[in-house]
Structure 1
C-alpha cells in the first residue's frame, strides 16, 4: 500500500510517539524534550547505517592473509588461531606448526565464527622448539580479507643495490598449483611504460633467478598464482621495483654467503641475511648460490665487468674445501680472478673463507657431508688470502675453539645467519673505510 504525504507524516508521528514512550519510560528524557524532525532524521541515519553494515558483512570471509615481521633467527613459526583475546589453551581453535614464511593464507570458509577470532605467532628453531614469546593477539578481520593477489616479500628497497641474481619470494597462496612471474623494464623514452623482458614459472613461493640483470634500467616484477592446470586464479601482485646501475664503485663476487639467505628457510631477498646490508659502504651483490671459486672466475667478464667497479670484494672457497678439493686448486682459481682484476684495473680485496660446522650440517638432509680434511684446505686457502696486499680476515670472529663455525651463528652449519652476516658486513666495511680513507666509499 502506498502512503500519501499526510499518511507519511502520521506514520512518522507514530514512530516518534513509540520512541518517546520508550524513552520516557526509561527516565532518560521527557516528551517536551523531543524534536520530531531530528528523530526522523536519526531514524533515516540508523536505517542507512544498518544497510551499510549488511553490505560490509555480505562479502563471505573465505580467506584471510596474515603476515608478520620476520623474527631474526627464526627457522619457522607457530601460528595460533583463538576465540577472543584470551591466551589460554582453552581459547585455541586451531594452530599451524613450522610455517617457513613470515605469513600465511588461512582458509576461513568453514570457520563460522572467524570474525570473532584472533591470531598470534611465535618463532621456532630448526627442531621446532619455541625460541621466543608469542606476539600479542590480533583480530583476524584486521588482516587482509579475501586477498586477490600474492603478497611479495623481497626487500630490494632496503638494499644499497639490487642483487645481480635476484631471488623473488612471496607468501604462498592457499591451494595454488603454481606461479608465474614476470619482470618488466621501464621504457627510457616513455617513462611509466614497462615492457616485459622475462617470464618464469615455478611450483614454489621462492624463485632463484638464473639470469643476471646487467642491462641498466628501472625494473618491475610481479607474480600471480595458477590453478592445478596452469590457468591464472589470482590477479598480478602489486609491483615491486629494482634498479640496475650502469656503474658501481664497489662490488662483491662470491657464493651463497655473499648472495644471502639463512636459517635454512629465509631466501636471499631478505635484507637482514645479506652481509652487504650491514656495510656502511654501498656494495653491489654479485654473489651466486652454489658457486665454486672456478665458477666465480668464469663469471668475471659476464657478471663483473658490465658494472665496471673500481673495487671488487672477493669471497669464496667454502664450496671447494667442503667438497674435499685440494686447496692449491682453489688458489689457482683465485689467482685467475686476481689476474682479471689486474688486467681491468680493479682493486681486488680478498676475504678469508668462513669455517663450517659439520655436526650441524649433518642434521640437514639437503646438505652433503663435509670432507674429512676441510680444515686443512681452508687454512691453506686463507693463508694465501692473508698474503695478498688487500685482504679482510673475518674468520676469527666466526670460529669456535675447535675451528668450526660457531653454533650460535648458524643453523645449517654451512651459512652464517643474521648475526654472522652482521659480523662479516661490519668487518669488511670497517676495513674498507680504514684502508681507503680518501676514496669516499660511503657514497655510491
Structure 2
C-alpha cells in the first residue's frame, strides 16, 4: 500500500515529507465507546476511552517502530452510525481532511435492520468506496467484531437488556454474517483491501471462546484488550 511508503518516507526524513493522514470512518467502535450504564431517567449512557480505541493503539504501534513518522489520525466515528450516514457525511468528516488512507468499519448498527436493510448497506458502502477511489484515496474496509451470543446475567437495566436481545438476534440468526459476507464480496469486486477482524472473532468463537465476555458492554463494544487486536491487524496489513 502507498500509505506504507509514506510512513517510511516520513520516518526517514521528517523534515522533507508531510505527515500522513488517516481517517477512521465508522460507528461506536471507531468513536471510542465502551461500557454502557443506566443514567438519569434510565437513559442509556456510555463510557468513552479515546486512548484505548483501536486507531489510537494503532498510532502507538507506528510510533514505537517509526518514531519520526508522526501520523495525523482523524476519528470520524459516531456512536449509532450506519454506512448510509457515513456516506452522507463523507465530505464533511473525511474528504475535507485530504486523507492518504481511509479505514471504514460499518455493519453493527446496519445489520439490526434485518435483511430489509442489506441493499442500503451495500449500496452505501459502494458509494463511499467509489468517491474515495475517484479521489485517489487508499481504502481499507475493516470488518467489525461479533455481537453478543447470549444475554449476560451481568447486564442491568431493562433498556440495556432489550438492546442485548436485539443485537443477539441479528448475530445468532445469521443476519450479521450475511451483512459481512456481502460487504466482503463488494470489497473483492471493487478491489478494496479487507482487514478481517470479524473472521478472527468467528474463529475464536469456533474454538469455544466466550466472545461475549470480550465485549466491554457485553453487547457490541469490544474490550480495550480486543481493540488491540484490531490495531495489530491494521499494523500487520499496512506495515508487514
| Alpha-carbon distance in 2 for matches of 1:311, 1:395 | 21
8 Å Cα contact 2:57-2:228 kept in structure 1: yes
Return the match for 1:314 from 99, 104, 113.
104
For each residue in 1:90-114, what CA deviation from the matched residue of structure 2 results, as whole angstroms up to 9, or x when unmatched? xxxxxxxxxxxxxxxxxxxxxxxxx
Return the match for 1:355 from 146, 159, 172.
146
For each residue in 1:187-208, what CA deviation from the matched residue of structure 2 results, as whole angstroms up to 9, or x when unmatched? xxxxxxxxxxxxxxxxxxxxxx
Determine the structure 2 residue equivalent to 1:268: 48
Determine the structure 2 residue equivalent to 1:424: 230
8 Å Cα contact 1:321-1:378 kept in structure 2: no
Instruction: Compute the displacement of 1:336 (Å).
Output: 0.4
Matched, 1:331 2:122: yes
C-alpha distance 418-304 of structure 1, shift in aligned 2 (>3 A): same
Determine the structure 1 residue equivalent to 2:57: 278
- Structure that is richer in strand per residue: 1
Alignment of 1:277-426 (within 5 A): 277-279=56-58, 280-281=61-62, 282=71, 283-324=73-114, 325-360=116-151, 363=155, 365-366=159-160, 367=163, 369-370=166-167, 371=170, 372=173, 373-386=175-188, 388-399=191-202, 400-401=205-206, 406-410=211-215, 411-426=217-232
C-alpha distance 404-259 of structure 1, shift in aligned 2 (>3 A): farther
8 Å Cα contact 1:292-1:316 kept in structure 2: yes
C-alpha distance 267-323 of structure 1, shift in aligned 2 (>3 A): same
- Structure that is richer in helix per residue: 2
C-alpha distance 320-403 of structure 1, shift in aligned 2 (>3 A): farther
Instruction: Compute the displacement of 1:285 (Å).
Output: 1.2
For each residue in 1:204-227, what CA deviation from the matched residue of structure 2 results, as whole angstroms up to 9, or x when unmatched? xxxxxxxxxxxxxxxxxxxxxxxx
C-alpha distance 403-320 of structure 1, shift in aligned 2 (>3 A): farther
C-alpha distance 405-334 of structure 1, shift in aligned 2 (>3 A): farther
C-alpha distance 346-403 of structure 1, shift in aligned 2 (>3 A): farther
C-alpha distance 405-329 of structure 1, shift in aligned 2 (>3 A): farther
Task: Name stretches of at least 5 consecutive residues in structure 1 with no aligned partner.
Answer: 1-246, 435-444
Q: Is the partner of 1:414 in helix, strand or coil? A: coil
C-alpha distance 361-275 of structure 1, shift in aligned 2 (>3 A): farther
Alignment of 1:203-242 (within 5 A): none
With normalisation by structure 1, the TM-score equals 0.39
Query: What RMSD, in angstroms, separates the aligned Cα atoms of the two structures?
Result: 2.8
| Alpha-carbon distance in 1 for matches of 2:152, 2:234 | 26
Displaced runs of 4 or more, over 4 A: 361-364, 402-405
Instruction: Compute the displacement of 1:405 (Å).
Output: 7.9
C-alpha distance 405-394 of structure 1, shift in aligned 2 (>3 A): farther
C-alpha distance 417-385 of structure 1, shift in aligned 2 (>3 A): farther
